[in-house]
Structure 1
Amino acid sequence: MAAAGGKHWVMLAAGSKKWDNYRHQADVCHAYQIMHQNGIPDSQIVVMMYDDIAYNDKNPYPGKIINKPNGWNVYQRVPKDYTGQDVTPENFLAVLRGDKRAVRSNGPKKVIASGRNDTIFIYLSDHGGPGVFCFPNSPLYASDLIATIKQMAADRMFSKMVIYLEACYSGSMFTQLPSYINVYAVTAANPIESSYACYFDPVRKTYLSNEFSAVWMHHNEKCDLNKATFQDQFGYLQKKKCHSHFCWFGDMSVGQCPIREVLKNAPQKPPQIIKARKLRLTDLTPTHEVPFTILKHRIATETDAGKRQSLIRKQESLYQARAKIERTVQAIKQRFPAGADEDEVDGDYSTSIDLQEFKTVAEHFRTTCFDWHVEEFEIALSYMQVFARLCARGVEAERIKEAITTVGESSNALQ
């Protein structure tokens, strides 16, 4: 349980939009159901999601979202605290630190109003890159997330905080998380690899979930939260993982506490329990391959010749965009010949990065060359590791930005 007089607070955020990213909002909706079943009241749960999936034209079951094959409707009763254009990294951070004045919203300004005896659980699901987690139209950078967490700790806004993050390269968001501020973070991937989607639905023609999220939520539904610790859950994650390497960061003492201390309130009456079936992950696909896999399936199953040709053109456009991004990034990289220090940052380079400098470089690349919030350029996120390694080698941010500008202008001129 929380400290004497304390409350359990929960922040759930899906950072994507559009049907092909179905799985991220499905993850968040499922996470909400788990919190609700564990007796945490809606007044202490904040949900952020674009909310364009349940009633999407492509949804064969309007009003329903599932998170596993033949699963139950996880969309029911989910609070719509922040949707559409209100789903931003600025609002996320403002809500987290309880700053109503900083929230920009068309609706009520619901925030995490936590105090020193309270616990906070944060779960985010979307695309990511080195030091970056995406929201629908702008990114959340590790520098801003870590700064906010540190300030909240200094202001004594929680007794314990646990963060679960579903995204590619998600480990890079926490390599500079201090181990002394009662914060424990678990990620879907290490700092230098992709995460994986799972459960491709041939009817909905999209993926329903992600590997990491499917496993931790399954464990929550099957274990005894009064006895199991977060480290027990991490052990289960390690046992069940198939591809990406789940990682933990921060304060191990928080990880050793029972899950109930953060995720279980004393319900007024026994909640409806959804019994977990045996976990069987299927259709595991690297996130950067998901758009191509979805298109390949749609092309193979489309019976209308005109629509099929349109899908083929879209597929070709995605391949061309990927090739152009790769050429551009390689041209930028070639302006900084590898030195003797190249091998030193070939592995986990994220601990040696100046996060603020990396943010300025990444933002310059996004706004100058390829905005990864545009569907065809989404894969640009996976190329951010080139800039992260340059920063780790000590190359000045201004030099990298100059190279980005020069190569970017040259590339645009050749279009």
Structure 2
Amino acid sequence: MGILSFLLASILAIGSLGYENDDNLIFIGKKWVFLISGSSGWDNYRHQADIAHAYQIVKRNGIPDENIIVMMADDVANHTNNPVPGTLINQPDGVDVYKGIKIDYSGKDVNSENFLNVLKGHKSAMKGKGSERVIESRKHDHVFVNFVDHGSNGILGFPDTFLYADDLIMTLKEMHAKRRYRKMVLFIEACNAGSMFDGLIDDDTKIIAVTASGPRECSYACYCDESEYHTCLGDLFNVKWMENLDQTIFDVSTKSKTILRDFEEIRTNVTNSNVMVYGDFHVGFEKLSKFIGYNVQRNSQGVINYVHHHPIKAGSLISNRNIPEIILNRKLANSKNIQEIKSLMQKINHRNQMKQVIDAIFFKMYNRIVEALPALSFKIGTIETPAPLKLSIDVFPCYKNIINTISSNCFSLAKNPYVLKKLKILSNMCVVDSNIDKIIVVIINDVCSITNIPNGLENIQ
């Protein structure tokens, strides 16, 4: 073997590097992985469990920690509700996926601004925050992003902020223009996840996005029937793509599985929502292992590691929008303690009262708006059944202004997953007229000023 061949072979043996034969040219590049749980709180246990599980997979697949960045609130593993403190599981009787995880950004550092700066590789913007690490990808590198949280029309959630589709799309365009990657894959688990890309992402930028749901539907949580935890352990989309890899047996066909083939398998197994794919379909023919590595670990007997998974029962699936309500009612139905029953009933009644207040505020806003603009209702639909209007980039300044006005003068929308399903009607107004926010914010301010808004409204899940 010549010296050049030996050096090339040595470089390719390093887990963070790979090669690609493209037009008979060999390119050396790293694999970068960015894992994000955008939520906080016990009710959202599943999001952090998903991301911790994803970390274990890519780590096992040979991606070094220096090429993995993890962003999660990290308030669940040691939560007082956790029956096994210091652990996270992603399936019933599952292994601890929290063990050994290295979290770069937690607590208040989990926000949309930091997410975009880490993705873009803006190191100076992250100085003094968390680990300060960013995705330092270059033109020959492959980038994999897995984001898990709540969502709405053109929105992904963070504990205190929103990530809007236009900001994400513009970041991806900036990365493409600056040649910050060779190819990129995004797996997005959230309600309405498809609305982040539908009609917005270019099809020639070597980026492909796979989403847990279409633009106008909710995604589903799973393993929600564990009485000891009183929450859901995973999200169906994320669980399915990861469990497929957990059960991988080393052979050529599995190692060579393409992203589109993996998408087909996930879509077949996720029947409660429409798993979608957007962007540059040419990237879909690439091997998934080019982005997240491949597990070739054997145990001491020389057998490939195999992880057994529980079947997902229909009763353990819950729409991500309904989890707190259903879990509380299940606890109430199963409780035999008088004091606990009283406490649960108080929580349920309080939650229902707060939901009624939110409903009343939105109906008041809507009625005032369509009263001022009568022709609008025929185009945008109603709060319960909004028209299926598609977003465009120029809609977002209007949309953001309306949402920021409500958050500033009424109650925070970012902390309130219940209200997310009501935002479609607001984006529809901006789709019809991108300058309509100038009228609407006046009405919103008036409604909020004369409405008695109780404390804690923003915390209703």
The two structures have a TM-score, normalised by structure 1, of 0.92
C-alpha distance after superposition, 1:272-316 (max 9, x if no partner): 665243673231111111010111122234444334322211111
Within the candidate set 334, 340, 344, 1:311 is matched to 344
Give the distance between the partners of 2:348 and 2:441, measured in 1 at CA. 31
CA positional deviation for 1:342: 4.2
* One-letter amino acid of the structure 1 residue matched with residue 237 of structure 2: F
What is aligned with 2:413?
372
Match of 2:58, SS state, is helix
The reply on whether 1:253 has 2:282 as its aligned counterpart is: yes
Match of 2:423, SS state, is helix
Identify unmatched segments of 5+ residues in structure 1: none
What is aligned with 2:428?
389
Pairing 1:253-292 to 2, within 5 Å after superposition: 253-264=282-293, 270=297, 274-277=305-308, 280-282=311-313, 283-292=316-325
Within the candidate set 226, 230, 233, 2:262 is matched to 233
CA positional deviation for 1:349: 2.1
Match of 1:288, SS state, is coil
Structure 1 contact 168–193 (Cα < 8 Å) conserved: yes
Within the candidate set 189, 193, 200, 2:213 is matched to 189
CA positional deviation for 1:104: 5.4
Pairing 1:68-79 to 2, within 5 Å after superposition: 68-79=91-102
Match of 1:214, SS state, is helix
Match of 1:7, SS state, is strand
CA positional deviation for 1:231: 0.6
CA positional deviation for 1:364: 2.0
CA positional deviation for 1:333: 2.1
What is aligned with 2:8?
none
Give the distance between the partners of 1:353 and 1:327, measured in 2 at CA. 30
* One-letter amino acid of the structure 2 residue matched with residue 228 of structure 1: K
Match of 1:315, SS state, is helix
What is aligned with 1:406?
446
Structure 1 contact 38–271 (Cα < 8 Å) conserved: no
Give the distance between the partners of 1:87 and 1:405, measured in 2 at CA. 29
Give the distance between the partners of 2:83 and 2:453, measured in 1 at CA. 43
What is aligned with 1:359?
400
The reply on whether 1:211 has 2:236 as its aligned counterpart is: yes
Pairing 1:87-166 to 2, within 5 Å after superposition: 87-103=110-126, 105-166=128-189
Give the distance between the partners of 1:186 and 1:317, measured in 2 at CA. 37
Give the distance between the partners of 1:315 and 1:191, measured in 2 at CA. 30
| Closer/same/farther in 2, CA of residues 202 and 392 from structure 1, 3 Å limit | same
C-alpha distance after superposition, 1:383-409 (max 9, x if no partner): 111101111112512222222222222
| Closer/same/farther in 2, CA of residues 278 and 106 from structure 1, 3 Å limit | closer
Structure 1 contact 10–121 (Cα < 8 Å) conserved: yes
CA positional deviation for 1:108: 2.5
CA positional deviation for 1:219: 2.1
Match of 1:354, SS state, is helix
Structure 2 contact 166–393 (Cα < 8 Å) conserved: no
Give the distance between the partners of 1:355 and 1:197, measured in 2 at CA. 29
Pairing 1:323-342 to 2, within 5 Å after superposition: 323-334=356-367, 335-336=369-370, 337=374, 338=376, 341-342=379-380
CA positional deviation for 1:125: 0.7
Aligned residues: 410
Bigger relative CO (Cα 8 Å, ≥ 6 apart): 1
User: Which stretch shows the higher mean deviation, 226-235 or 216-225?
Assistant: 216-225
* One-letter amino acid of the structure 2 residue matched with residue 199 of structure 1: Y
| Closer/same/farther in 2, CA of residues 216 and 184 from structure 1, 3 Å limit | same
Structure 2 contact 77–87 (Cα < 8 Å) conserved: yes
* One-letter amino acid of the structure 2 residue matched with residue 299 of structure 1: L
* One-letter amino acid of the structure 2 residue matched with residue 270 of structure 1: Q
Within the candidate set 203, 215, 227, 1:179 is matched to 203
* One-letter amino acid of the structure 1 residue matched with residue 66 of structure 2: S
Structure 2 contact 91–309 (Cα < 8 Å) conserved: no
| Closer/same/farther in 2, CA of residues 62 and 274 from structure 1, 3 Å limit | farther
User: Which stretch shows the higher mean deviation, 43-52 or 277-286?
Assistant: 277-286
User: Which stretch shows the higher mean deviation, 256-265 or 294-303?
Assistant: 294-303
Match of 1:325, SS state, is helix
Give the distance between the partners of 2:36 and 2:364, measured in 1 at CA. 36
CA positional deviation for 1:235: 0.7
Give the distance between the partners of 1:365 and 1:2, measured in 2 at CA. 50
Structure 1 contact 192–348 (Cα < 8 Å) conserved: no
CA positional deviation for 1:216: 1.3
Match of 2:132, SS state, is coil
What is aligned with 1:39?
62
Structure 1 contact 170–187 (Cα < 8 Å) conserved: yes
* One-letter amino acid of the structure 2 residue matched with residue 264 of structure 1: G
Pairing 1:2-21 to 2, within 5 Å after superposition: 2-3=19-20, 4-21=27-44
| Closer/same/farther in 2, CA of residues 359 and 413 from structure 1, 3 Å limit | closer
Match of 1:67, SS state, is coil
C-alpha distance after superposition, 1:142-173 (max 9, x if no partner): 12111111101100000011011111111111
Give the distance between the partners of 1:372 and 1:105, measured in 2 at CA. 28
Within the candidate set 350, 355, 359, 2:391 is matched to 350
Match of 1:140, SS state, is strand
| Closer/same/farther in 2, CA of residues 195 and 291 from structure 1, 3 Å limit | same
